[in-house]
């Protein structure tokens, strides 16, 4: 590399450049609605660093390998970069590799650029594409992506559906113990809360977003549990086809006082979720869009036809089943329910705050060798009237 990282970052996008430090002279500016001012709480994961390294290398479960590495990196981010790089190269699971590329960025910032560039020519095109997107966020230079064609289907309610990878923290207030903080790696988050799918339409992306949660391992009959969250808000447009979204979701959600989703009596509880994101979009004619029908034609004619990448933050309240999770040392499917501290029933059980960041990008989700924009179907409608669906395949096919 002939240029320094600093010189290459001078071309950074205005929309992705941090605000000047001078904006934060007032200590009140450090307070945040989502993140605590300090994260020096009791650790949920009490394994030693050496134990975490052993699990990250040798455990049979991709989730446990990833979870151990993310916990290790959380403790000492910069010092973990070399180990993260080694695990990206040695890991066999695509989802874990993608998440660990993001972990390198989270842990090293600009110092991860060489790592990301190393994997930008990976044999797996999706890994290479992720590396290019993440490197672009460091340099501010538009990524040269792996695909120059896209395919859109006329079926389904949405022009584009993007699976998100989510990392975060959960701060849990535990009686008699204190405040405990757990590190949520992407696969662990998915196992607890479900795979998250962001669904948009080109004509309403500035105001509307539909989020689907797909949770496996919860229903006794093996069926998949779906929940649909309609988000609404406003967006600000920046240069280089970037939109900053500020969205809110307020819905009535099923809540189970038993502490486990699907077990016992259910009551409805109002739940609010906040989400802010910076979305990068393709320009007209930048990518050849394949498809026959009004949707394909609409995207081909749009100035910004589809999302190329997105990054953002989220936060919300939760009720964590302490009896189950601390006895077992992990949080399982349905044991952390979205909640509301002001609700007469869920309020007394609301003991945790979820917050963190997420990533998503357009990608090839079928092995077609091109972007597959809406091949993954959302099991809900844009109006959000379908709050919970068990199976819901009929919605995906409409």
Does the pLDDT value for residue 5 go beyond 90? no
**Residues 63-87 pLDDT 10s:** 999 999 999 999 999 999 999 999 9
pLDDT tens-digit series, residues 291-338: 999 999 999 999 999 999 999 999 999 999 988 777 677 888 888 999
377 forms beta bridges with none
Please give the helix or strand (H or E) that residue 193 lies within, else none. Answer: helix 186-193
CA 166 to chain centre: 3
Query: Other CB atoms closer than 10 Å to residue 170's CB: what's the count?
Result: 23
The predicted pLDDT at position 6 comes to 57
**Rounded average pLDDT over 96-125:** 96
Above 70 in pLDDT, residue 219? yes
| Helix ranges restricted to H, 59-122 | 62-75, 81-90, 94-108, 113-118
310: three-class secondary structure by DSSP: strand
- pLDDT value at position 186? 97
Percent share of the chain, pLDDT over 90: 72
pLDDT of residue 386: 57
Give the confidence band of 390 by pLDDT, cuts at 50, 70, 90: very low
What pLDDT is attached to residue 22? Answer: 73
Q: What is the pLDDT of residue 18?
A: 63
Q: What is the CA radius of gyration of the chain?
A: 21
What pLDDT is stored for residue 334 in this prediction?
85
Where residue 16 falls among pLDDT bands split at 50, 70, 90?
low
Across the chain, mean pLDDT equals 89
- pLDDT digits over 150-185, tens only? 999 999 999 999 999 999 999 999 998 899 999 999
pLDDT at 1 over 90: no
Residue ranges per structural domain of the chain: 5-139, 149-396
Prediction pTM value:
0.91
How large is the average pLDDT for residues 95-121? 96
Both tokens of 283, joined, read 């320009």
Q: Which has more confidence, 390 or 16? A: 16
């Amino acid at each position: 590399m002939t240029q320094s990282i600093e010189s290459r970052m001078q071309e950074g996008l205005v929309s992705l450049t941090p605000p000047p430090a001078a904006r934060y002279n007032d200590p009140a500016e450090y307070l945040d609605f989502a993140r605590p001012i300090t994260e020096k709480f009791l650790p949920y994961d009490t394994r030693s660093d050496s134990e975490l390294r052993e699990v990250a290398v040798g455990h049979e479960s991709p989730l446990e390998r990833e979870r151990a590495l993310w916990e290790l990196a959380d403790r000492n981010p910069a010092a973990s970069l070399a180990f993260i790089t080694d695990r990206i190269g040695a890991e066999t699971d695509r989802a874990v590799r993608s998440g660990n590329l993001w972990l390198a960025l989270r842990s090293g910032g600009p110092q991860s650029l060489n790592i990301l560039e190393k994997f930008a020519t990976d044999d797996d095109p999706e890994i290479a594409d992720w590396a290019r997107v993440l490197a672009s966020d460091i340099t501010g230079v538009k990524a040269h992506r792996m695909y120059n064609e896209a395919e859109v289907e006329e079926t389904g309610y949405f022009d584009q559906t993007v699976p998100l990878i989510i990392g975060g923290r959960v701060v849990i207030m535990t009686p008699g113990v204190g405040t405990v903080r757990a590190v949520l790696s992407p696969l662990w988050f998915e196992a607890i809360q479900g795979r998250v799918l962001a669904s948009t339409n080109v004509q309403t992306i500035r105001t509307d977003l539909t989020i689907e949660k797909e949770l496996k391992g919860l229903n006794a009959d093996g069926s998949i549990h779906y929940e649909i969250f309609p988000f609404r808000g406003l967006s600000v447009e920046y240069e280089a086809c970037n939109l900053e979204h500020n969205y809110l979701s307020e819905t009535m959600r099923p809540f189970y006082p038993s502490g486990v989703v699907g077990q016992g009596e259910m009551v409805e509880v109002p739940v609010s979720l906040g989400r802010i994101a910076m979305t990068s979009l393709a320009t007209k004619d930048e990518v050849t869009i394949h498809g026959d029908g009004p949707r394909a034609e609409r995207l081909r004619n749009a100035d910004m036809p589809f999302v190329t990448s997105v990054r953002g933050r989220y936060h919300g309240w939760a009720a964590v089943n302490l009896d189950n999770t601390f006895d077992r040392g992990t949080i399982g499917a349905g044991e952390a329910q979205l909640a509301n501290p002001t609700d007469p029933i869920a309020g007394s059980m609301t003991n945790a705050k979820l917050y963190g960041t997420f990533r998503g990008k357009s990608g090839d989700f079928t092995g077609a060798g091109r972007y597959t924009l809406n091949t993954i179907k959302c099991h809900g409608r844009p109006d959000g009237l379908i709050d919970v669906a068990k199976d819901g395949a009929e919605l995906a096919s409409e």
